[in-house]
Amino acid sequence: MEENQEPKFDEKAANEDSKIDALVAVVVLLVVTAILVYWVSSQ
Per DSSP, 3 falls in state T
Q: Is 8 helix (H, G, I), strand (E, B) or coil?
A: coil
pLDDT, one tens digit per residue, over 12-26 is 777 778 889 999 999
pLDDT at 17: 83
Please report which confidence band the pLDDT of residue 5 belongs to, taking 50, 70 and 90 as the band edges: low
Position 7 pLDDT exceeds 80? no
Where along the chain do its domains lie? 11-43
Distance between CA atoms of 37 and 29, rounded to whole angstroms? 12
What's the alpha-carbon Rg for the chain, to the nearest Å? 19
- Concatenated DSSP letters of the chain: --TTPPPPP-HHHHHHHHHHHHHHHHHHHHHHHHHHHHHHHT-
Q: pLDDT of 25-40, one tens digit each?
A: 999 999 999 999 999 9
Q: What is the pLDDT of residue 3?
A: 59
- The separation between CA 6 and the C-alpha centre of its own chain, rounded to angstroms, equals 27
